[in-house]
Amino acid sequence: MLSGDMKVPLIDLPLQYAGIRDEIRRAMDDVLDPQQLILGPAVATFEEELAAFCGVKHALGVSSGTDALLAVLMAMGIGPGDEVICPAFTFFATGGSIARTGARPVFVDIVPETFNIDPQQARKAITKKTRAIMPVHLYGQLADVETLDAMCAEHGLAMIEDGAQAIGALRHGKQMGAYSAAACLSFYPTKNLGAMGDAGAILTNDDALFETCRKVRVHGSGHTYYHEMVGGMFRMAAVQAAALRVKLARLCEWNARRHEIAGRYTKAFDAAGLGKRLVTPKHEADSFHVHHQYVIRVQHRDAVKARLQEHGVASAVFYPLGLHLQQCFANLGYKAGDMPETERAT
């Protein structure tokens, strides 16, 4: 039990910021003083550094992780009459971005041990209308991208990775984007690499797709006033890039620290002999889990959550309802029982 008034918050952003405050302020002043506030040199430099960090040819800074997903889908021409397969257990942006293009999100179940998309369920969901598969690297561990890549090649599909929670994660020594057409990142402030507001990025090794995404980012013109297509306004603010550059230099250290603390939790739970009453996160073989969240399964979850709160330890449920059962997707015809592992997880 914690002593006195000590509390353990779910997320402690002020603690991280305190250690880099002066450097963040200097970096942002370097943007604010010349008033180069949208895109510009700060964003271009961050894009170069991010691409190098992630081991891809191109990185494109955008306004949010959600907009990164939407921009890639738009750049690929995915729209009405198309289908995109994604997991039912994920943050809303995954399915919502697909629906916003007019395409149909096709939800499939997850592997219970990792909470990531089940490749076999994805295979069963492929139809003549399928254009892409969108795996989500949930909680910071990469999905089975090798199996999904082979599946996409077999059926002529694109793979778009929703990597909002998994920057820096590794699978067999490779990061996101090694197999896919594009991977999308979120820099929402609570992420492992968090901005001072909303921001995101697109990673790709495809030169043509990168150029199209760059145009889609600014109303299909790339900022020329000549519009080849209908895009969106998905520009990254320069102050976000400035802050992200400071944090990117520390990301490997921070991810390693998360991994270390997760290991400490798991060791302590194992030593407590909780057995089947509590399931700790599984690490896939030859992978590096960056633990955006440390997620456990526990009997009597809500009672345990309340007990933790009594003792000053915050926790949360990620996520309480699968996308297939969300009201806005009722027209897709899914019903309770269609995604048993998702429903158990929720």
Instruction: Convert 93-149 into a string of H (helix), E (strand) and C (coil).
Output: HHHHHHHHCCCEEEEECECCCCCCECHHHHHHHCCCCEEEECCECHHHCCCCHHHHH
When pLDDT is cut at 50, 70 and 90, the band that residue 336 belongs to is very high
When pLDDT is cut at 50, 70 and 90, the band that residue 39 belongs to is confident
DSSP reduced 3-state for 340: helix
Asked if the model's pLDDT at residue 176 lies above 60, the reply is: yes
What pLDDT shows up at residue 124?
Answer: 98
Gyration radius (Cα) of the chain, Å: 20
What pLDDT shows up at residue 81?
Answer: 97
Asked if the model's pLDDT at residue 276 lies above 80, the reply is: no
What pLDDT shows up at residue 102?
Answer: 98
The Cα-based distances of 97 to 66, 102, 105, 133, 222 in angstroms read 7, 9, 9, 13, 21
State the DSSP code for 8: B
Asked if the model's pLDDT at residue 49 lies above 90, the reply is: yes
Is residue 185 within 8 A of residue 201, CB to CB? The reply is yes
- The pLDDT > 70 percentage for the chain reads 99
Mean pLDDT (whole number) for 308-326: 96
When pLDDT is cut at 50, 70 and 90, the band that residue 212 belongs to is very high
Among 175, 140, 183, 163, residue whose Cα is nearest residue 292 = 140
Of 1-15, 99-113, 217-231, which range is least confident? 1-15
Asked if the model's pLDDT at residue 226 lies above 80, the reply is: yes
Centre a 10 Å sphere on the Cβ of residue 211 and count the other Cβ atoms it contains: 14
Mean pLDDT (whole number) for 265-277: 87
The Cα-based distances of 56 to 179, 194, 210, 242, 287 in angstroms read 10, 20, 11, 21, 19
DSSP reduced 3-state for 23: helix
- The pLDDT > 90 percentage for the chain reads 90
What pLDDT shows up at residue 3?
Answer: 54
Rounded to two decimals, what is the model's pTM?
0.95
Pairing relationship of beta strands 130-133 and 104-108 according to DSSP bridges = unpaired
> How many degrees, rounded to 5, is the angle at CA 122 between CA 118 and CA 128?
175
Average pLDDT, the chain: 95
Centre a 10 Å sphere on the Cβ of residue 161 and count the other Cβ atoms it contains: 28
